[in-house]
Amino acid sequence: MAPAFQPPERVGREEIIRASEEVMARPDIAFSETEEILRIGAAELEWDVGVMVYEPEDAARIPVGADGRKVGVFLTHGGASDWRSMEPLARLLAGKLGYRIASMTYPGRLYLPEVSRDWPGDTIRADGTVRTPIWLDGEIIADDEYEVVHDASMRARHGIRPNARARPGTRFHDRMASWPLAFEDAMKEICRRHFPPADYSVYVHGHSTGGPFVNMLSQRVDNVVGLIGVENSPFGYIYQRMAGTEWKGPFTDLLIRNWREIARYRGAEALKSEGPEALMSLAALMEDVLDEWARSTRFPQFKAEYIVHYAAAPALEAAAGATAARLGLGRPAERELVARYLGMGRELAGPGARPVPPLLFGITAYSRDHTAEKYRDIVVPAYRAMSPAPKVGVVQFGAGIHSYWAPEEGLPMGTLPAVIQLWEQAISGGYFLA
């Protein structure tokens, strides 16, 4: 029996270009795209959650992995967006490799009134009111359900950030306390519907903020066999160590994004790719940031997910307690609910816990947060300290930014084609076999 595929530690720029040319030269596989809106019941509330399914028109084109089952990929996006930001990845996986893809949008992120899913206007309106989630078709958060507060606690990293703080006793407050349950249940339901265990092995990928959620999913669905990552954050408590700070905001705060969220990435990426001389072009860089923001307002651009992203225990406990109080739970049931919330930020352990499956992380050359040093010193040791310890590999790509599909010279789709070639080699080559 041939030895299992071993990922390289580094893929250089010239190798990325060659891999990209090879992938893009492959014959196209005809595939369909279907959007589904799932009605999920969680915490005695209804939630409408969107998923885009991409699959070959000829089901016989779906390949099998080294374990003999068809390849299915569960995707979710990063902190600013919805399924549309994952579209380049989903289309390439389906159209070049033939995989079946389910690309989920976080609860509340889809603009359900429009087929285009484009959000209207800007995130902060002229009258000071802000954009808020649509967790259920037809349900609108009223302006009097929140107050706008400005957070300067992480100004050096994020700037001053506006938040919509949910008022107690409102539906907005109920939703902000309960969305983690809807998120978890929606992920499991999507896998159940689209990747039956008898036929499919599931490989999970969550860009950036999506990473802690697919890490969570990996222990909650029996046919998830591994994580395929690039710029994919780890479990929340590990990410907290990577960031070097705790998330101290309350669960009631919905971040309202603005141009600062783009600036904090573009500045760091310019420094890494160009050096300190990048500051000599700060005016031009800011023009690019503001232009990019103007193009980005059609995406949701709000975020409630920090409490899981950072495994913020006080906020998770408070959210669970608020949900338990609304549901009228007794103390034993409340303790169970608190444990469930806290368990979203870290691996499950102990008797009966499903082990964390193998992980294959990728990091790009100019990423702000996902650096080789942080993976070497923080991420990999944290996974190896688990019991049992999963297989974990890290591949550093010699090109690309956090949005790894962004074009650059010689790479019209960024590092994306080279990344999926690596995933294909790992899946077919037995890297994910237990």
CA pair distance 95, 55, nearest whole angstrom: 8
Kindly state the average pLDDT of the residues 239-265: 92
Structural domains in the chain, CATH included, are 10-428 (3.40.50.1820)
Q: How many residues belong to the chain?
A: 434
Q: What is the mean pLDDT of residues 236-247?
A: 95
Give residue 1's pLDDT band: very low, low, confident or very high (50, 70, 90): low
User: For 277-290, what is each residue's pLDDT tens digit?
Assistant: 888 888 888 899 89
CA distances from 91 to 116, 171, 211, 350, 387 (A): 18, 37, 20, 39, 36
Both structure tokens of 225: 């066999």
How large is the average pLDDT for residues 152-168? 87
Contacts of 1 (CB under 8 A, 6+ apart): none
Find the distance separating the first CA and the last CA of the chain, reported in whole Å.
15
| Of residues 315, 431, 434, the one with CA closest to residue 7 | 431
Q: Considering only CA atoms, which of 248, 218, 245 is closest in space to residue 232?
A: 218
Residue 110: what pLDDT? 98
User: Quick one: DSSP state of residue 94?
Assistant: I
pTM score of the predicted model = 0.94
Show the DSSP H helices in 150-230 as ranges: 155-158, 171-194, 210-217
* Beta carbons of 278 and 285 less than 8 angstroms apart: yes
Q: With a cut of 90, say whether residue 301 has pLDDT above it.
A: yes
Q: pLDDT, tens digit, for every residue of 312-368? A: 999 999 999 999 999 999 999 999 999 999 999 999 999 999 999 999 999 999 998
Segment 10-59, tens digit of pLDDT:
999 999 999 999 999 999 999 999 999 999 999 999 999 999 999 999 99
At residue 253 the predicted structure's pLDDT band, cuts being 50, 70 and 90, is: very high
Residue 434 above 80 pLDDT?
Answer: no
The phi-psi region of residue 167 (left if phi > 0; otherwise alpha if psi is between -120 and 50; otherwise beta) is beta
Does 193 have pLDDT greater than 80?
yes
Q: For residue 385, give both structure tokens.
A: 């300290």
Per the prediction, the chain carries an average pLDDT of 95
Cα–Cα distance measured from residue 261 to residue 265, given in angstroms and rounded to the nearest whole number: 7
Q: For residues 410-434, give the mean pLDDT.
A: 96
329 vs 312: CA distance, rounded Å: 23
Of the pLDDT bands very low, low, confident and very high (cuts 50, 70, 90), residue 154 is confident
- pLDDT, mean of residues 397-425: 96
